[in-house]
């Protein structure tokens, strides 16, 4: 990777968002295996001002049941706090001197799985020799410190950066530079009350930093952060191959185009279906059409009765979506990202029924505009014109357990045909 300053300023090549998203999912797989958080975000808490688990009215103990994935410990509180940290959470140990490493080695609750964090490069090298993963802890307040951070950061398993200025431009430059590396990027949120900064950080350049270290000092702020964090789901949806069993024109009806405020990649789409037991991955208008301009923000999604599959195992009726509604974009691997509806375009058009069957025997269907230019994804993520589908064609879809009440999954017997 070239870390020359010119590659992190004007003239740098644009970031490949699809590539960045895939690499980010790969490189935090180890973090996800260590924790049981519901999404792929890395969220750490700094214990610099905590000396026992009961401090701040039990703030640390409350974290154990939340979406936090790691705790940063210090020489002054290591022996008191380390035994209380559950196995599912990563222990990160901040060290400033070689003696701090010796202290770490003497404690039974701190094995080789502890990550050593430090601004001291020689100390991190020593920690690596001892078998520890390392986290370079940096502070950026000008161009020189930014260049030094990206130059050194990719050498470590984690890079945690605190920025002096409120602009996200330096963070964007770090994201762009580290996009092809295995380094997990974490922004340290300077203010313990700035929930907005923590949430926005995770969405910078669509993919965002891999995580944040946000350490509220009140339960109210912690509650607000965790609530908003839950709406940033970056889960992976299971996609399966299904076979077309039937297509048929069914006459006129009302269909919607979903126009988002983002641009789709050529392997992303939206899951749409007529029933709560599954959906078909519908293509955006990013592929060549001979008679019209591309609309790379749009999915010609389906009839207004359709379910649009969303985060949190929820569905929305297409007729309910409005400007500002959140929608889930899904790529061929099942990786997801959040987008926002900018406009719903609703018109009377001829409609076509498309029915597909999964290997399990379950069938799903989608009703879309009956036109050659409307497409769904093949099993290898190629666009298939729906008017040319024939029985046996392989497509990508999602199989779900049926049963919804106001869009929320419920455990009940239900048959939809």
What's the rounded mean pLDDT across residues 249-258? 97
In a domain, 417, yes or no: no
In a domain, 65, yes or no: yes
Same domain? 213 vs 285: no
Same domain? 23 vs 161: yes
Distance between alpha carbon 78 and the CA centroid of its chain, in Å? Answer: 32
In a domain, 397, yes or no: yes
Percent of the chain with pLDDT over 90: 55
As a whole number of angstroms, the distance between CA 297 and CA 289 comes to 15
Collapse the DSSP code of 147 into the 3-class scheme (helix H, G, I; strand E, B; otherwise coil) and give the result: helix
- Residue-wise pLDDT for 131-153, tens only, equals 999 999 999 999 999 999 999 98
Domain count, the chain: 2
Same domain? 401 vs 344: yes
In a domain, 414, yes or no: no
Same domain? 113 vs 198: yes
The alpha-carbon radius of gyration of the chain (Å, integer) is: 24
Where does a domain end: 167, 198, 232? 232
pLDDT given at position 54 = 86
Residues 6+ apart with CB under 8 A from 123: 95, 96, 97, 98, 100, 101, 116
Where does a domain end: 232, 264, 282? 232
In a domain, 92, yes or no: yes
Same domain? 264 vs 402: yes
Same domain? 168 vs 288: no
As a whole number of angstroms, the distance between CA 394 and CA 358 comes to 10
Where does a domain end: 204, 232, 260? 232
List Cα–Cα distances, 76 to 69, 73, 331, in angstroms: 22, 8, 46
Same domain? 283 vs 156: no
- Helix 55-63 to helix 219-229 angle (10° resolution) is 20
As a whole number of angstroms, the distance between CA 114 and CA 108 comes to 12
Same domain? 63 vs 201: yes
- Asked if 208 contacts 184 with a C-beta cutoff of 8 angstroms, the reply is no
List Cα–Cα distances, 409 to 50, 106, 116, 277, 400, in angstroms: 40, 49, 42, 10, 10
Higher pLDDT, 103 or 405: 103
- Residue-wise pLDDT for 12-59, tens only, equals 344 444 444 444 444 444 443 333 333 457 899 999 989 988 888 888
In a domain, 416, yes or no: no
User: What is the four-CA torsion angle of 145, 147, 149, 155, rounded to 10 degrees?
Assistant: -150
List Cα–Cα distances, 255 to 154, 217, 265, 365, in angstroms: 48, 49, 23, 15
As a whole number of angstroms, the distance between CA 353 and CA 244 comes to 11
Same domain? 258 vs 181: no
pLDDT given at position 416 = 56
In a domain, 14, yes or no: yes
Mean pLDDT of the chain: 84
**Exposed, middle or buried by CB within 10 Å (0-12, 13-18, 19+), for 60?**
buried
Higher pLDDT, 397 or 210: 397
Q: Indicate whether this model's pTM tops 0.75.
A: no
Q: Which domain holds residue 275?
A: 240-409
List Cα–Cα distances, 147 to 72, 201, 255, 322, in angstroms: 25, 20, 51, 43
In a domain, 340, yes or no: yes
pLDDT given at position 29 = 43
Of the candidates 331, 339, 320, 324, the residue with the CA atom closest to the CA atom of residue 233: 339
- Residue-wise pLDDT for 256-298, tens only, equals 999 999 899 999 999 999 988 899 999 999 998 887 789 999 9
Q: Which of 24-38, 183-197, 299-313 has the lowest mean pLDDT?
A: 24-38
Same domain? 170 vs 258: no
List Cα–Cα distances, 202 to 4, 123, 210, 213, 232, in angstroms: 25, 29, 7, 11, 8
The number of beta carbons lying within 10 Å of the beta carbon of residue 293 is 7
Collapse the DSSP code of 20 into the 3-class scheme (helix H, G, I; strand E, B; otherwise coil) and give the result: helix
Same domain? 138 vs 208: yes
pLDDT given at position 47 = 95
pLDDT given at position 139 = 95
List Cα–Cα distances, 70 to 50, 56, 234, in angstroms: 15, 18, 18
Same domain? 145 vs 221: yes
As a whole number of angstroms, the distance between CA 115 and CA 95 comes to 10
Q: What CATH number should be reported for the domain holding residue 44?
A: 3.20.20.70
- Residue-wise pLDDT for 309-363, tens only, equals 988 778 899 999 999 888 999 999 998 888 889 999 999 999 999 999 999 999 9
- Asked if 327 contacts 321 with a C-beta cutoff of 8 angstroms, the reply is yes
């Amino acid at each position: 990777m070239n870390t020359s300053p010119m590659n992190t300023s004007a003239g740098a090549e644009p970031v490949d968002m699809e590539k960045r998203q895939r690499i980010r999912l790969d490189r935090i797989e180890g973090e996800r295996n260590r924790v049981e958080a519901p999404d792929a975000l890395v969220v750490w808490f700094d214990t610099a001002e905590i000396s026992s688990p009961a401090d701040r009215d039990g703030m640390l103990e409350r974290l154990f049941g939340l979406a936090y994935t790691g705790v940063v410990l210090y020489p002054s509180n290591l022996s008191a706090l380390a035994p209380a940290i559950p196995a599912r959470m990563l222990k990160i140990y901040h060290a400033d001197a070689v003696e701090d490493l010796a202290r770490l080695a003497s404690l039974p609750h701190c094995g080789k799985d502890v990550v050593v964090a430090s601004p001291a490069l020689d100390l991190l090298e020593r920690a690596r020799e001892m078998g520890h993963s390392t986290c370079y802890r940096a502070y950026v307040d000008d161009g020189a410190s930014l260049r030094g951070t990206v130059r050194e950061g990719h050498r470590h398993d984690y890079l945690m950066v605190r920025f002096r200025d409120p602009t996200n431009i330096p963070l964007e430059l770090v994201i762009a530079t580290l996009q092809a590396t295995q380094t997990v990027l974490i922004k340290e949120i300077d203010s313990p009350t700035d929930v907005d900064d923590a949430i926005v950080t995770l969405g910078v350049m669509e993919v965002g930093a891999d995580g944040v270290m946000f350490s509220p000092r009140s339960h109210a702020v912690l509650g607000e952060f965790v609530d908003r964090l839950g709406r940033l789901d970056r889960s992976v949806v299971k996609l399966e191959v299904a076979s077309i069993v039937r297509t048929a024109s069914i006459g006129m009806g009302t269909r919607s185009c979903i126009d988002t405020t983002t641009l789709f990649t050529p392997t992303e789409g939206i899951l749409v279906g007529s029933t709560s037991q599954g959906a078909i991955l519908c293509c955006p208008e990013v592929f060549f059409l001979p008679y019209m301009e591309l609309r790379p923000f749009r999915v010609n999604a389906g009839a207004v009765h359709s379910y649009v599959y969303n985060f949190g195992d929820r569905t929305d009726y297409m007729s309910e979506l409005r400007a500002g509604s959140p929608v889930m974009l899904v790529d061929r691997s099942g990786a997801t990202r959040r987008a926002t509806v900018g406009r719903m375009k609703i018109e009377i058009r001829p409609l076509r029924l498309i029915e597909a069957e999964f290997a399990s025997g379950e069938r799903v269907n989608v009703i879309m505009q009956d036109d050659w230019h409307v497409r769904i994804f093949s099993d290898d993520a190629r666009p298939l014109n729906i008017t040319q589908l024939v029985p046996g064609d392989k497509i990508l879809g999602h199989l779900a357990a049926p049963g919804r009440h106001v869009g929320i999954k419920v455990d009940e017997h239900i048959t939809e045909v």
